[in-house]
Homo-oligomer: A and B are copies of this chain.
Amino acid sequence: MSVANTAVSSQVGPPASNGPCGDDHCGIRDVLDRLGDRWTVLVIVELSKGVRRFRELERAIPGISQRMLTLTTKRLCRDGLVQRTAYPTIPPQVDYRLTPMGRSLAEMVNALADWSRDHMDAMADARADWDAEQEVPQHSPR
């Protein structure tokens, strides 16, 4: 797929149904703001593997706090990406699963993860290179 100088794919704003902000980045921010935080993506990835209970998520995502897990899942529910089901048992039991929309987002995220895996070495390399170039108060690069 040639993407060379022609931007990517849908740079051209659809004339009718879209183009609220004159600029190109209409609703991108909306999604990116969700994906931007530290945990949302990880929760989505985990839930893409199947239904999970609260504690299961917590254990599956090392480092997340209850607070953050609660907030994250709540936001995802609010956005219609995750469905929460609570059983009025004792002790209480709640499980979370992706909605169809959530699953389609998960696909995107996974594509990104794929890309990430494919390029992370190149990025690390470039970074090291750049760092070295900036860091030479003395000379003799090696």
Which chain A residues have a beta carbon within 8 Å of chain B's beta carbons?
A: 1-14, 18-21, 23-28, 30-32, 35-38, 41-42, 45, 48-50, 60, 62, 77-81, 101, 103-120, 122-123, 125-127, 129-131
Residue of B nearest to A115 (CB): B108
The answer to whether B28 touches A41 (Cβ under 8 A) is yes
Cα-based distance from A36 to B32 in the complex (angstroms):
7
The answer to whether A106 touches B31 (Cβ under 8 A) is no
Give every chain B residue within 8 A of A41 (Cβ-Cβ): 25, 28, 32
The answer to whether A108 touches B103 (Cβ under 8 A) is no
Cα-based distance from A118 to B27 in the complex (angstroms):
9
The answer to whether A45 touches B116 (Cβ under 8 A) is no
